[in-house]
Amino acid sequence: MNKSEYMKIYRNTYKGRKSKRVSDWKRAGILFHDYDILYDIFMETDECDFCGCRLDTEYKTRKCCDHDHNIDDADNVRGILCHTCNIRDVYTTIDIYLAKKTKTKNEHDLLL
C-alpha cells in the first residue's frame, strides 16, 4: 500500500476525521486549551447554542465552531452554532447570550 492509498483510508477513520477537523480549526485561528475536549463537545452538540435549531449536515444548519477573531493569545471559542448564526453580524449579541447561559453551569458550559 502506498502513502496515497493509506491516507485515503486514514481520512475515513475516526482519528483521521478528528485530525482534519482540529487542523482546520487551528488554520482558522480557533484556540482552545484542549482540542480533544473541544472535538468531543463539537461532536456531541446537536443544537445551536444561539438559536437552538437542530444541527445537521444541511448548509444553513451545519455545525460551526464560533470563535472571537479579536482574541489570538487565549481560548477564543464562544460556542457551537449553526452556519446561519455563525455568519450573522451578531457577535455582541452572541457574547451576551453565552455569558447569560454560562450562569447556569452545566458540563458543556464549564468546558467552553
Residue 63, classed as helix, strand or coil, is: strand
Reported pTM = 0.74
Q: Which domain holds residue 104?
A: 31-111
- Domain membership of residue 70 (yes or no) is yes
- Domain membership of residue 25 (yes or no) is no
Taking the C-alpha atoms of residue 51 and residue 93, their distance in angstroms, rounded to an integer, is: 11
pLDDT grade, residue 105 (50/70/90)?
Answer: very low
How many structural domains are present in the chain?
Answer: 1
For residue range 7-47, list pLDDT tens digits in order: 889 999 999 999 999 999 999 999 999 999 999 999 999 99
Distance of CA 2 to the CA centre of its chain: 33
- Domain membership of residue 8 (yes or no) is no
- Domain membership of residue 81 (yes or no) is yes
Q: Is 52 left (phi over 0), alpha (psi -120 to 50) or beta?
A: left
Instruction: Count CB atoms within 10 A of the CB of residue 105.
Output: 9
- Domain membership of residue 11 (yes or no) is no
- Domain membership of residue 103 (yes or no) is yes
- Domain membership of residue 17 (yes or no) is no
Contacts of 3 (CB under 8 A, 6+ apart): none
